Chains A and B, each alone.
Chain A
């Protein structure tokens, strides 16, 4: 049984934010795929839940002047169905395909996944390579910050108790950018023994890398960008040697928990393979 709490149903985002301020020890709930589980286990027991699952303001995907805006309430399943995602940021569709299972995807939201900030979050590494920013709204206004700054540690973010993460925004990558996402684990679907790697390279006309992003998930307290690996790739021709170096740097940057040091090797292998597939022009 879940602990006792009060459930409020705001009719608008504005009302939701008011409620969040007025009720100490309150949390927003949308899909509930993390929250319900955590409440059942006793990990979380907020006195009040504010149901934001029906708020239209949070459920849209917009494209505005080269910026993609994804409402926090967008379900992971929507990434699989939306043509804008498929066209502009296929890595999010790739991530969504490996996210939990069909049933969970139909409820889990991108906002919920980011705010929960589990070390094994799938949205985080994919959004990190897209240079995503998050919007946090409260009674006093909106704060916007890079996702990398938002994620502080395991289950820790810079969201304050009176803030709702309302959306994610990212610059739509140019057509020349190639991206890839992969997840590996003890089982195809699970958070156990899991590693995520996301990569993005912008290859210029001469075949040289002008920009790169490498992110690793589930191998540290929080998903992280591996800047040294990115630097190693920039200016290179994505040859095997450079890829190997970048993969090693990604492995070194990982900080797995005691007993899971083997994950570094997994990161190395996955990063090498993803970058190699991009070098071969494999993935979009």
Chain B
């Protein structure tokens, strides 16, 4: 078992004392949600509105031999039926060219509606809009469809074998990367031992509480308005392309999202609504059932990851070779990027000079896979962190000690040769997480206690060759209140609140005096996606830039007004004046009046650009991928019941360096929630397909953790102040999840003395593994 350790003392950091930032203030969206006033996507209705339903494939791989909508169309109350013929050529632009250096793969973009073939159960085939939901459902039932089954493939390894059915010409290789750093052969030769391990992980469902939904209508300017829960308002461009209309004729009004976790990063209902609204000229509403949210939206990529590691007796890694195989599902969607993330993070937060990584993703006739919190990072961590424990076991070293001698430090390079420039507090985080577990409980013959840890690193900010930007507008009203306009989608992590808190800090007003208008592609400055743990970094910096510009003008005018030096001016409590001298100050509202009368701009639109790079070397995979990384550790104590196979999580602790916590309660919530999702990933979540048919179609079969399953995570927040986000913040949204599942896997392996190489760790797998061991022992 991992030895007890004391927390490593933190390096000295002098973070400035702030008034609003750094406080666990009540979020601006919290009360509206708590009293049920917030209008989510499905809560909105309009006069004369139609209701839509989707006909979806029941076969995983088939030709549509016959599609006859005549009877459905004849049903009274049906306003419109659209098939693949009606939207011929309209695509979802899922496979962005250039990411692997290859040409765009012909046909691999998902069609809006299937035309000749269907490639997965749940693929959309036809749309119905009718006066009521019941009529729409009945119409869908009346559509006559005949399938002719085609050969299918259900696992990516088979898909890559010669002779396998090809989903998209020319072959089943959706994406491939290689990393070559140093000299792996030499490194292996240097090693004292070589450790091998293969780790598998399943499809996982996001299971956000709010099923995808939206309402669309055509307004008096002919603009198609789509009110939808989404992580991306910029989809208006893809939708415009699909409808063959100018981009300024599609308006996305994003709602408060009831959870996304990456699933709402893809286009979901909005494109169907756009077509139906245009076709009928009436408002149309589409609300997915939970079963549709399961079958028709993306999943986390299953991965099989093989590690071969050369190590010295003291634990130092001399060489690493990794092979990764990912399941892209029926359409690529964001697979090439997920694979890139997994590849770029495959070696973990460790200093390894000789690295060889080969990764490939292949399609199967199953639910398509795309973005899910961590985006390949959690899968990579399940590989490298389980491998670290196997190395410790092989060398008979303490699991933390093996990590400690290999941790990256600031100014070291990752496996792609990217230099880590911010603080790397892996050891500080690991020791604190482990220390928080306290003394382990004693094992009994039937209840084995195990302790496990996982250290990780996870990027924040998008791939830098996307040339990411974000914009925000900040303005001071004449009564001293503040308005923010920003395209940021709020998916529950406090995206909109954080930037309000930043504006409140910079302009010296209480948070209650900041109002934000957000998530409207026509009216609010575009802030990019709420994905890739990028909003605080990008929009936070954009708001900082905008608010600072306004602040500077206010300071200049106030200094003039008060007859003092600008450097002495401070803003706070809605006043502007000399720090520490309230008699030498002016109320912000009075200053705003003054500025307005003199034509001094009280608002600013600012754009923040992330670093712009140009991609990895195709042969060596060397180059910079991301703006920066977050580091941390999760540690878990488990009890494994050897009679029943039950796993009980006894205690869980997570420590992350978030750079700067803009709102500590929100950071706490992200870490607690992300860890919880990771615990579920480890022990109970398994989205099962059998011959392409979904065996876990609802919350009855697909289990996510409830309030009684796990204890609360002990959350430890560290602030190095070295992030590239506002006030030195890093990102935490995705990082929070990454280390949790491997920590559990390691704890279970510690408890029973053997490793189960596949998630989730169910009672069946535990008992079968224990039985396997006894069989061996009996021989």
Contacts and interface: CB of A to CB of B under 8 A. Distances in A.
Nearest to A37: B700
B644 A188 contact: no
Interface string A92-108: 00000000010000000
Interface stretch (A51-59, A69-77, A234-242, A263-271): A263-271
Contact of B709 (A188, A192, A266, A268): A188
Q: Is the interface of A mostly helix, strand, loop or mixed?
A: loop
Contacts of A270: 643-644
Contact of B134 (A1, A190, A265, A268): A1
A191 interface: yes
Contact of A186 (B137, B641, B762, B771): B762
A182 B764 CA distance: 18
Interface in B304-327: none
Given A187-B684, A262-B767, A192 B644 contact: no
B768 interface: yes
A184 interface: yes
A192 B703 contact: yes
Contacts of B148: none
A193 B762 CA distance: 9
Contact of B706 (A187, A268, A272): A187
B133 interface: yes
Nearest to A187: B703
A166 to B, nearest CB: 29
A44 B471 CA distance: 54
A218 to B, nearest CB: 12
B748 to A, nearest CB: 15
Contacts of A191: 700
Interface in B445-460: 446
B137 A1 contact: yes
Interface residues of B, number: 23
B763 A184 contact: yes
A260 interface: yes
A49 to B, nearest CB: 18
A262 B763 contact: yes
Does more than half of chain B's interface fall in helix, strand or loop, or is it mixed?
loop
A193 B644 CA distance: 11
Task: Among B133, B137, B641, B643, find the residue whose CB has the most chain A CB atoms closer than 10 A.
Answer: B643
Given A184-B763, A193-B763, A266 B645 contact: yes
Contacts of A37: 700
B643 A189 contact: no
Given A262-B768, A265-B767, A269-B643, A189 B708 contact: yes
A159 interface: no
A193 B768 CA distance: 14
A184 B644 contact: yes
Most chain A beta carbons < 10 A, residue from B446, B641, B646, B709: B646
A268 B701 contact: no
Given A1-B134, A269-B446, A187 B709 contact: yes
Interface of A: 1, 37, 101, 184, 186-193, 195, 260, 262, 265-266, 268-270, 272-273
Interface of B: 133-134, 137, 446, 641, 643-646, 684, 700-701, 703, 705-706, 708-709, 762-764, 767-768, 771
5 contacts: A187-B703, A188-B706, A190-B703, A193-B762, A262-B764
A-B pairs with lowest CB-CB distance, top 5: A269-B643, A262-B767, A269-B644, A187-B703, A266-B644
